[in-house]
Amino acid sequence: MELGKSRRESGVVSLEFLFIFPVIVGLIYGAAGYGVLFFNKYQMQVAVDRATSSVFSLDRRQSTAFAQDALNYSSSVLEALSGELPALAASRIAESSCSTRSASGLELLECTLVADGEESSFLPQLNFGFLGAFPPLPQNLTARSTIAF
């Protein structure tokens, strides 16, 4: 009797493995994929933060049109930092811009980076027909930083 019982139990273990294994692999792949996306988004955010904060190294006393000088300088810094992004994000940069605006009597400088993932996703996805793609990914990654000067 013991022999029959162990065969039955091993069949149950095999069946449980068949049900659980794809779920575990999917969770690990999803976690790794989102880790790559978050890393790229973080690197983009660091680039726009550095571009906007680079304005603080300029001397207002040496400029008659400081807002324009700040815009030009931060735009050049953003372009330089965009080239140092990870390959996944750098190859998909759709928008790289800096602009100034006035709000409540303050001059604001805003830099933006947008990586486009509409044509092809950032990572390989599995398509399950009517259930959709796995893992679900954003259409684009956007990093924005604004400072007052």
Question: Is 110 buried (19+), middle (13-18) or exposed (0-12) by CB count in 10 A?
Answer: middle
Provide the domain limits for residue 7: 2-148
pLDDT at 121: 80
pLDDT at 5: 59
Give the residue from 54, 63, 79, 65 showing the smallest Cα distance to 107. Answer: 65
CA distance 100 to 71: 7
**pLDDT higher than 50, residue 1:** no
Q: What is the mean pLDDT of residues 64-73?
A: 91
Amino acid in position 130: F
Q: Which helix (H) or strand (E) holds 4?
A: helix 2-53
Give the residue from 105, 96, 104, 76 showing the smallest Cα distance to 144. Answer: 96
Number of domains in the chain: 1
Structure tokens at 97: 């811009």
Q: What is the mean pLDDT of residues 48-55?
A: 95
Contact 85, 47 (CB under 8 A): yes
Q: How far is CA 28 from CA 37, 46, 110, 135, in A?
A: 14, 27, 37, 11
